Amino acid sequence: MDDIEALCDRIIIIGGGEILCDGTLSALRSQVSSRRYLRIDLANDNFFFEQEGVSIISKEGRTVTLAFDPTKLSAASLISQVTSQHEVEDLFVENPPIEEIVAELYAISAGIIP
C-alpha cells in the first residue's frame, strides 16, 4: 500500500458494485477520518496520559502511539502536553496507514461504523 501512496495521484475504491471513492488520497482521508497518530519514543517505560479526544493505540517498549483528531486538538498542543509530562527522545506525527482508511471506508459503506 505504501507504493500506492507514493505513485498514485488518484484512487478509485469500489465496494458492493458502486464507487465509494474517486479522487485523491487526501480526499479519501478527509472523507473517512481526520485522525492522526503521534508516535512517541520515551526516555523510560513509564507512560500515563489522559486527554479527552486522545487514545493510546499501542505501547511497545518505550514507544507509544496516540490517536487524535487535529481538528479538535492541534498536534502542537498535544506534543506540548506530552513533553511537559514525559521525557521524550523522539516523536513523529503521521496519518493512519492507507489500509486502515480503506478498511474503515468499507466498514462505513457496509453500515458497520455509523
CATH code, 57 = 3.30.70
pLDDT in tens, 41-97: 999 988 999 999 999 999 999 999 999 999 999 999 999 999 999 999 999 999 999
Asked if the structure places residue 8 within a domain, the reply is no
| Burial (CB count <10 Å: 0-12, 13-18, 19+), residue 105 | buried
pTM across the whole model: 0.83
What confidence score (pLDDT) does residue 37 get? 97
pLDDT in tens, 17-53: 999 999 998 899 888 989 999 999 999 988 999 999 9
Asked if the structure places residue 80 within a domain, the reply is yes
CB 51: neighbour CB atoms within 10 A? 13
Q: 43 is in which domain, residue-wise?
A: 34-95
Look at the chain and report how many structural domains it folds into. Answer: 1
